[in-house]
Amino acid sequence: MIDLGPHAAFIVGAYAAVTIGVLGAILWVVFDARRVAGRLAALEARGIRRRSAGSSAS
């Protein structure tokens, strides 16, 4: 185990905070993407189509 010296708590605390923040952001981004994709798929499953669907402009 690496010896972080007398200020280990500050180093571990900083890395822990950044890890929690980054993992939280990843989970949130993935969760949000899946939620929105699910909502769009549900609307399309009801037969609702975008008026512009079929052209490349959206």
Partner 1 sequence: MSLDLAAKRPNWFARLANPGQFLAWSRPLVWPLAGLTTLLFVVGLYFALLDSPPDYQMGETVRIMYIHVPTAILAEGIYVVMALAALGTLVWRHPLADVANKAAAPLGALFTGLALISGSLWGRPTWGTFWEWDGRMTSFLILFLIYLGIVALWRAFDDPGRAGRVIAVFTLVGALDIPVVKFSVDWWNTLHQGASIDLMGDRHMADSMLLPLGLMTLAFGFLFLTLYLVRVRTEIFRRRAESLARQAAASAAP
Binding site for partner 1 (CB under 8 A): 2-8, 10-11, 13-15, 17-18, 21-22, 25-26, 29-30, 32-33, 36-37, 39-40, 43-44, 46, 48-51, 55-58
Are 58 and 52 within 8 A, CB to CB? yes
Nearest approach, Cβ of 34 to partner 1 (angstroms)? 9
Write out the two tokens for 27: 């989970």
Nearest approach, Cβ of 14 to partner 1 (angstroms)? 4
Alpha carbon distance 38, 36 (integer Å): 5
